[in-house]
Every structure is written in structure tokens, then in C-alpha cells.
A and B are shown apart, each in its own frame.
Chain A
């Protein structure tokens, strides 16, 4: 299986963590908190879009919301294929870190 890019992996994980609240605004906030870097919307849309087209994510829209100018939220959900991808990444990460000398100085 093709490995995901770093940003795709991070976004996918964020969607998994946020569950029912996984639309762009919280995803972005979450990523900004964790990485302490500024994420633009575009830098989230692009991986979201790609993940969805490749079948790792699916999305649905909510009822229109007044605060959003009468626009719905697009909530993303990790698919079965997405979960498998996450698990695989996890196991690869674990294997990579295994028996690595301590990084603390």
C-alpha cells in the first residue's frame, strides 16, 4: 500500500481524534495546538480532499448553520480503509522507533 504523506497522516489522525466534531475549523485548531504552527485552511483542504478521493475518509454535511452564513458543516469520518492505514502507520512508526538509542541529551 502507498504510504500517506506526512500532512495526510496528521490530518487523518486529527479526524479520527475529533470524531463527530471533525470539520475544518476544529481540525485546524487542533493541529495548531499540537504542532504550534500556523495552518492555513488550504493546507488542510488539500489533504482532506485527497484522502476523501482515495477513500480514507468520507464526509457528510450537517444542517445549515446561521453563524456560518447559512452554510453547512462538512463533517469527515474515517473509513475502514482509513483506519487500516492509520494502524499500519502506527505499526511502522513503532517498528522504526524500536531499539533506537535514547534521544535525551
Chain B
């Protein structure tokens, strides 16, 4: 008999786990004593249940007590941390500024990424909406197109039970919209089916969504536009003139299409107004078509049914035009027409097809930006780690005293961690302030319209807290373990210096910091170089000094007269009337048969131009001749580009024939090739040059004027004056070709600018850290430097001594950074058909910039300590 009975082991174990106080031993004795008393009086079961009940009743008390005391401890941490922050002001300033800038960059990029990912998520039926796209191949040409024929939507609804609804868009470009005496050129105009409102969650604020776009010649406009045209009048029922000819009745008003949608239109015109929408063809791809699938239907299953449909309808159409059996054409391997579905939420980040409604973004940039944000935050955290460990000598005594007075290591770790978290909390407060300050600038830079209010979402608040705590822990954990490991005996004996000096970790972190910085610099320089390359590349035409008059079609029959009138001024060298220009403008892709061979079809650009086109745009004839008024037969002549010559496989292209189908019944127009124009870029340099045929004809979309270089302003004024003589009420719109050309690279320029700004931030934060580190190194070596000077060292030799250490680190960072940067930049450049060669100079420039900036940063400290009078530095004891 032991004299007492052991209570339930499990319950006792639970108590021991939670009760970490040193009184545990005696207090558990109380439990045992009472347990035994009850056992003696009421038996084992009672005692057993009493013990368990007591355990559970006691746990909350123990826990709340623990929280109470840790709160008391917490107050103590705050006090210590605050004292330390104020004691070492320089150090705290560097840390908090660095961290705050890093966090602000992180938050901005988080907002950006969040916005990018939110595209089209707000549609209630977003997970059921798919766009139909075509993967299309004809001979050597492969295209992916975001639009299909007008008949596809109806066919899908009638053939497939899983398709619930569909909506089609047809973009006919800019339109002149007129109300009474007000007339504007509107670029955000689209024709849409009336099912628009059933599929997209874009509500009408006036009008009936079932009937709004049902009738021909009806129109829905945004609220902003309604105010622009009608001020405060009720827009419903008003009549607008579109394109100077048709009257449209306003049947609805929408607030606006949300920013995070992959299309933005101010005017929706009813599809029923377009005859084109009722032609049952599959091979003209002009209608962006969205399907709404029934709930729980599988898009993969639906996609698998498409080939059958394509064979039937597309095949039938080809047979009709060419008279060749569809089987032969599909079987030849020369032709492919594959329909597939794109989930609407993927369009913004994952789709870059022909005929997109708007230029989309790219998931690549989401990744790049996220990586940059992390880089910057890590660089800032490294500053904290490095500076904390570097000045550990200063805190070693504090650790020693605390330990002697009974601090446990875990308490010290907690204290240092808490300090790091305070730093990060302070930084976050500052960062939030920075974010709200720089959000407008960031919006300008990134082309977004983010607002401060988007900061106040649950996700963002969570993210903010997460960034704060993770940064605190990431930057605090190493210093915490490092500092808390000091042994009091050694500290007081002064044996610490050896430990502080062996700073291999600190050095590798500096190398990492500068590696990241150098990668960012190389990236930025490469983006700029590529942009430069694009802008200076020989394009095959001269984009400078071409003034383009928009809306020329408003002049109707007077267009040629207008042109002649303008050319009377010596400022205007030559002019061409056409809407087909090598900048984003009118396009017409069509199928032709070279040499009338029905078996070898090709898809080409087919442009209508006039006699002066090639001269005005400064293109070069490589072979044959230009269109000429002297040959009356030139109306059926064609000039093709070199790419087309290759496409058709012709040895001598002159006088070859090209047949253009003019109807679905097998009629053709024949063109004789009279000349070959040198290839010129008419798409962005991301893409290769496509085959192109030019023929004479009338297209009055725009007039391009080649002007003299002396007085550009005068030319514009002259043009405007003449325009108002001809059409006093119509809007005067013009642009310069090189400006429009530049807009094709807006996204690249944007990336370049964002990269530039963040690189600058990264360099700045890195230098802040380096500056701090250098000042501590110099401080530590004060005595050494003093002695060296006394023994005759010169100032340059001492500077060399101090700079060498950092110089080696940054050179090392360069060596590591170059291959990584090379790989990354190469990946990005792959998106361009024409790319600037990656020159070694970019790497050398980035490397030497980093070295130069770092050396300048360190020199300040180096000079300061090198010129110090040794009498002062040696006297410091």
C-alpha cells in the first residue's frame, strides 16, 4: 500500500500540459489529496468523476490566468521595444523606412493582383459563361480567333440541349453619334443581342431588360453618356443618329460596365439592326459569341461534340464555294477549323487571340509583379536581420544581464520576436499611409482605377495582418535566436567580438539582396531596350509626319475634293484616302485563290487603297510598279507584299493572278499582280507579318496626309480650318500615325514603367541597409583604423580596406544574378516575333550600376572613418 491512490493518469496529464507554472507540483498535490479523501468516503467512481470534472473546470482558469500574465509580459515587451527604438534612432529609421516601403509596394501589388483576378467574377452566372473561339489553320497560316460566324450562336442553341442561351457581339469600330446639334465620335460602341442582360450581370437602371435590345434600331447607353447627350432629360425614347444615317431609339440605360470586365462599352446597339447578323455563314469570323450553359453541364463534353458540327456546316460551305469535297479539304492536313470554349473568367488573363474585344492582360504579369513584391519585402526584411545581428554587440550586455537575473532563453526569444513584430507593425502603419498617398500615382502607372475603399475588404485586412506578422517573424526569428544564445560569462569577459565578426550569414544575405536588385535592373533595362528596338525598327513605312484625319467618310462625295484642297497648301506633301492603315485600324481578312487554283486557298489581308497610298506612307516597291492613273486597267490590279509572295510560293509574282470569291455561289473577281511592296509591319511586333494584298478602290474611312516637318501645328490648324469649312457641325478628329503606333505597345511600356519604379524602390531599400551595415562596420573598426593611421596608413588605403569587403559581395551577387536574369528576360522576350538581341552590355550596365550605387553608399561611412583623427578614435575608452 502506497498510502495514496493515483488519480486518472490522462486527466493528470492534461493538467500538466496546460499548467506550466512552477507551482504545478504543489498544486497537483491538492488534487491528489482531495481525490484520496473522496475515494475513501465515496468510492473510486465518485473520486474518478470528481477528478475529471475538476480538471475541466480548472482548465479555463489556468488558461485565462496565462493570458493575463502574458499580457502583463507583453506590456513589458512594448516598453523594452520602444526604449530600443528610440535609443537607436538611426537604426530604427532605416529599418522602419525600408520595411514600410517594402510593405507599401507589397500592398499595392496585392491590390493590383486582386483586381486582375477579379475580372468577370461578378457575373452571377460567371461559371457557366463561355466564349467560343476558333483554332484555324489554312496552309501555313495558323490563327486563333475569338470570334465566329453569325450563325454559330443560333445553331448551338438549337442543336445542343446543354446550351441555355447565347449572346453575340459585333464590333464595327468607332461611330459618330449625333443628337440634335451635338455630335461626338464614340469608340465604345458595339452591336449586341438582346440576351446580353440575361447572361451578364449588368443591370439596367432604366428600361426593361427583356425588351431593351429586342427591336431593330434600339440602343442602350451608359449613364455617363446619357448625361453627355441629354443632360438631365429622361433618355428613354430619345432618338440618336448613329454613323450619320440610322436613327436609334434609346430603350435603356446602364450604370456602366464595371472596370473589371474584359469589355467596356458605352453604347449597346441592337443586333437586329444588322443585316449581317442574319447571314448563315460560318467562315467569316466577325461575331464574338458567348454561350450560357445549363447548370451542371460539362463544357468538355460539349466541346467534344463540335467537330461533327464543323464538318457538316463549315465543310458544306467550303464545298459550295470551291466545289471541292469537304472530306478532301479536311483530310489534306492543310485546313483545320476547331471550335473551343473559353471560360469567361479566363479571358482577361489567359486569352490573347485575334479579334479580342479589348487588349487583355496577361497572367505572366501577375506572376512578375507578385515576384517583385516578394523580392522587395525580402530585401527589406534582410535589412532588419543584418542590422539586428550586426549591432548585436550593443545588446549583448543587455542579454547577459537579463540572463543573470533569471531570464530564460525562451523569454528572450519572445522578447526579440515581439520587438521585430513591433517594428513591422509600425512599418505597416506607415505603409498604409504611403499606400493611400501613392495610390493615385500607382493607378496612373498601372492603368487601374483602384480606390482606398478597396483596401477595406476582409481579404485585404487579412492580407495586411498576414504581411505584418510574417514580415515580423521572418525578419525577427534569426536575430532572436542569435541574440538569445549569448552566454553571460562570455559577454562579460568580452569574448563576444569573435562571434559578431563571423558574419557569413550576413554576407550571404547582402549577396542575395543585391542579386535580386541586379535581376530587377537587368529586367527593367531589357524591357526598355525592347521598346526602343520596336520604336526604332525599320517598319517598312515611315510613321513620322503622317497626319491622319478621322471620320473622313462624313465628307461623302466631297472626300476627293477635300484632299485636293488640302494639297494646295505647301505644308501637305501628299495624301491617301483609305481606312486601311498599318496602325490599329480597319482590317479585312479574306480568303483568296492564287492563280485561280481552288485547291490552294490562302487567308490574306485585303486592303482597299488609292493611287497615292504607297507614296504617302513611304513604303518601298520591291518589284514591279506602283498603281498608276496612266493605266486604266489598274482598277483590277493588285500589289502584294513579300510575305504573300512566299505564301503563294511564286518565283516571279508579276502578272500572276489572284481570285477573290465575291459570293458563296462561286463567283470570282480576278486581280493581276503588278507589283510587290517590301514587307511592312502593320500588326504589333509581337506578331509576324501576314500576307497582304492591296487593290485600288474607294474606302473613305480616313485621309492620311504626309506633311512637311517645319511647322506641325500650322498643318493641324489648316486642316481644322478646312474641315470646319466643309462640315461646320461635325467633330474634327485627327491623330499622328506615330502616336497611334505607340499605343500598340502600351502594355509593354506600362510594364517597363512599373518595373522601373519598383526596381528603384528595391535599390533604395537595399542601399539603406547597406548604409546601416557600413556604419556599424566602421564603428566597430574605429580603433583598428586609428591604429592603422597612427602607423602611417593613408586615407585612400583605409577607404580601400573598408570598401573591399562590400565590393567583393556585390561582384559575387552579379555573378549569381546574371544567369537568372538572362533566363527570365529570355522568357519574356519569347512573346515577341521581333526581339532586340540581349546584349552583354545590359548585364554589365546593371552590374556596374549596382556596384557604383553600393560603393557610393558605403563611401560616406568609409570617408567619415578614414578622416577621423586617430587621437579621437583611440581615446574612446
Contact = CB atoms under 8 A, between A and B. Distances in A.
19 contacts: A23-B26, A40-B54, A41-B27, A41-B31, A42-B60, A45-B23, A45-B27, A46-B61, A53-B69, A66-B2, A67-B3, A69-B6, A71-B28, A71-B32, A72-B26, A72-B29, A73-B26, A73-B29, A74-B27
Interface in B384-403: none
A40 B57 contact: yes
Interface string A73-94: 1100000000000000000000
A42 B54 CA distance: 8
A74 B22 CA distance: 12
Contacts of B30: 23-25, 28, 41, 68, 73
B729 interface: no
B58 A40 contact: yes
Contact of B4 (A40, A43, A61, A68): A68
Nearest to A75: B26
A65 interface: yes
B3 A24 contact: no
A52 B3 CA distance: 32
Contacts of B6: 69
B366 interface: no
Contacts of B21: 49
Contacts of A49: 21, 23, 65
4 smallest CB-CB distances across A and B, nearest first, come from A42-B61, A71-B29, A42-B58, A40-B57
A74 B31 contact: no
Contact of B26 (A53, A66, A74): A74
A73 B28 CA distance: 10
B59 A42 contact: yes
A68 B57 contact: no
B29 A41 contact: no
Interface in B800-827: none
A19 interface: no
A50 interface: yes
Nearest to B3: A66
Nearest to B29: A71
A66 B2 CA distance: 8
Interface in B1-36: 2-4, 6, 21, 23, 25-34, 36
B536 interface: no
Contacts of B23: 45, 49, 59, 74
Nearest to A44: B61
A32 B705 CA distance: 103
Centre residue among A23, A43, A61, A71 by max chain B CB count within 10 A: A71
A67 B57 CA distance: 23
B839 interface: no
B25 A72 contact: yes
Interface string B446-469: 000000000000000000000000
A71 B57 contact: no
B64 interface: yes
B29 A65 contact: yes
Contacts of B4: 66-69
B30 to A, nearest CB: 4
Interface string A14-30: 00000000011100100
B36 A67 contact: yes
Interface string B42-79: 00000000000010011111101100110000000000
Contacts of A28: 30
A74 B281 CA distance: 96
Nearest to A41: B58
Contact of A61 (B2, B26, B34): B26
B26 A71 contact: yes
Interface residues of B, number: 28
Contact of A45 (B2, B29, B62, B68): B62
Nearest to B18: A42
Nearest to A52: B23
Nearest to A66: B3
Given A69-B32, A71-B32, A46 B64 contact: yes
Given A49-B21, A68-B29, A71-B32, 15 more contacts: A24-B30, A42-B57, A42-B59, A43-B57, A43-B58, A45-B27, A45-B62, A46-B61, A46-B65, A49-B23, A50-B68, A69-B6, A69-B29, A74-B23, A74-B26
B405 to A, nearest CB: 17
Contacts of A23: 26, 30
Query: Among A23, A42, A61, A71, which residue has the most Cβ atoms of chain B within 10 A?
Result: A42
Most buried by B among A24, A41, A50, A72: A41
A66 B4 CA distance: 7
B63 to A, nearest CB: 9
A49 to B, nearest CB: 6
A59 B26 CA distance: 11
Which residue of A53, A66, A68 has the most chain B CB atoms within 10 A of its CB atom? A68
Nearest to B62: A42
Contacts of B36: 67
Contacts of B59: 42
A71 B27 CA distance: 9
B409 to A, nearest CB: 22
Nearest to A38: B57
B66 to A, nearest CB: 10
B74 to A, nearest CB: 15
A37 B831 CA distance: 78
A41 B62 CA distance: 10
Contacts of A43: 57-58, 61
Nearest to B19: A45
A45 B65 contact: yes
A94 to B, nearest CB: 30
B58 A71 contact: no
Contacts of B3: 66-67
Contacts of A67: 3-4, 32-33, 36
Interface string B316-331: 0000000000000000
B37 to A, nearest CB: 8
Contacts of B61: 40-43, 45-46
A96 to B, nearest CB: 28
Contact of A68 (B32, B64, B65, B69): B32
Contacts of A61: 26
Contacts of A41: 27, 30-31, 54, 57-58, 61
A59 to B, nearest CB: 8
Interface in B125-181: none
Interface in B692-743: none
A53 B34 CA distance: 26
A43 B61 CA distance: 6
Interface in B486-515: none
A42 B60 CA distance: 8
A83 to B, nearest CB: 23
Contacts of A65: 29, 33
A67 B34 CA distance: 10
A91 to B, nearest CB: 28
Contacts of A24: 27, 30
A46 to B, nearest CB: 4
